[in-house]
Amino acid sequence: MKRLLSAVLITGFMILGCNKPSEQDSAAKAPAVLTMPVTDQPANANESISASRNNAITNAVEEASPAIVSITVTELQTGYTRNFDMSIFRFFNQPIEREVQSMGSGFIISNDGLIVTNQHVASESAKTIMVTLANEESYEAELLGSDELADLALLKLKSDKTDFPFIKFADSHDVMVGEWAIAMGNPFGLFADGKPTVTVGVVSATERDFRPNPQEPRVYIDMIQTDAAINRGNSGGPLVNSDGEVIGVNTFIYTGGTSAGFVGLGFAIPSERVQKIITQLKESGTVSLDFDPGFEFEAMTRQHVYRYGLPPVPGLFVKTVNKDGPAFDAGIMPADIIIRIGDQKVASEMHAWALMREFAEGEKMKIRLFRDGKEYETEMVLRRSVAGR
């Protein structure tokens, strides 16, 4: 038994001793063990994580942020206070004026300080317009022009500087559903620290048409829908793509009656329409058609149905037609009911003007109309530049 145990101990030592280097081998391999870069792997991992924080979104935000502005508008509003006249023992309403401030967003589009925002942020009723840049500089701005129908306004900073940071427009025709969308601006007045708020989502849909408030004359066509968070104060700020370029102007949210806050449905005016409108605002301060349609119209009402014996067809009632205009050449006659302009159904008179703004002199505009119980389609060749809406 002792002999067997001794044999086992000797054998085990040999097995373990097979991996034990000789003194000569140890001396040869020692330098290799001492020079192993045991700390390189954690360092490289940290560098990799840090580098991964820089992406298309952070680059776009860095590119666009200097051009984002906060807008504070002061308006004079007329109200009434109820007073009691002791001489006649009666109450009467006495008019009073008070200053009311509101805040919104905007963005600089040229190095001389031109700014785009919404008309409902800055309009003709503004007494003063103050603009704060991302570097915390503040300037007063003047209103060059505004358009209520498109809900856009163009401002100019009162400064001789020609080195303001500005942001470029992208082509909204190239916008893809599902691509990154970055909303930038001043929600709830959080611009006090000099930096715009950034929220990120995707383009949820394009070409959304509707009037969110029937009591207002604004008409929104081809709107870009996004789930990037947009809240009160974001109006007028840009919706930016991953290249740091403007694809739209953040304008309103849809709550579906669930709350007064954001629920994932925000809408922006596409950059193509924005550029068309601000070009005219810069030149003349107003927006007008560059062609004469050659006819006058108004929305169909119950009075038209009773007075002229017309069917209750929704659309536009043609009042007059100019014999020298394109409408006459296209066969349009008084008492016709226009039901479509282009590919869109006409919802109101304001909607018709908004649709016609999408056409230019020299183009052809399809018109679908209702006459004598039948629908007809014709085509107007647009010509003659006139001053108007």
Residues that are catalytic: 120, 151, 235
With residues binned 3-state (H G I as helix, E B as strand, rest as coil), the percentages for the chain, rounded to 5, are 25, 35, 40
Which pair of tokens denotes residue 41?
A: 């792997």
Alpha-carbon span 237 to 257, nearest angstrom? 24
**Residue owning tokens 């209520």:** 148
Torsion sign, CA atoms 169, 174, 175, 178: negative
Instruction: Give the three-state DSSP class for 289.
Output: coil
The conformational region for residue 194 under phi > 0 = left, psi -120 to 50 = alpha, else beta, is left
Query: Encoding tokens for residue 185?
Result: 């601006």
Q: Is 222 exposed, middle or buried (0-12, 13-18, 19+ CB in 10 A)?
A: middle
Token pair belonging to 292? 């004469």
8 Å CB contact between 253 and 388? no
The number of beta carbons lying within 10 Å of the beta carbon of residue 43 is 10
What are the structure tokens assigned to 337, written together? 């009911």
Residue 296, classified by CB atoms within 10 Å of its CB into exposed (0-12), middle (13-18) or buried (19+), is middle
Q: How far apart are CA 200 and CA 181, in angstroms?
A: 6
- CA of residue 63 relative to chain centroid, distance: 17
Helices (H), the chain: 2-17, 23-34, 40-52, 56-64, 271-284, 302-308, 326-329, 349-356
β-sheet bridge partners, residue 250? 268
Q: Give the largest Cα separation in the chain, rounded.
A: 134
Phi, psi torsion values for 41, nearest 5 degrees = -65, -50
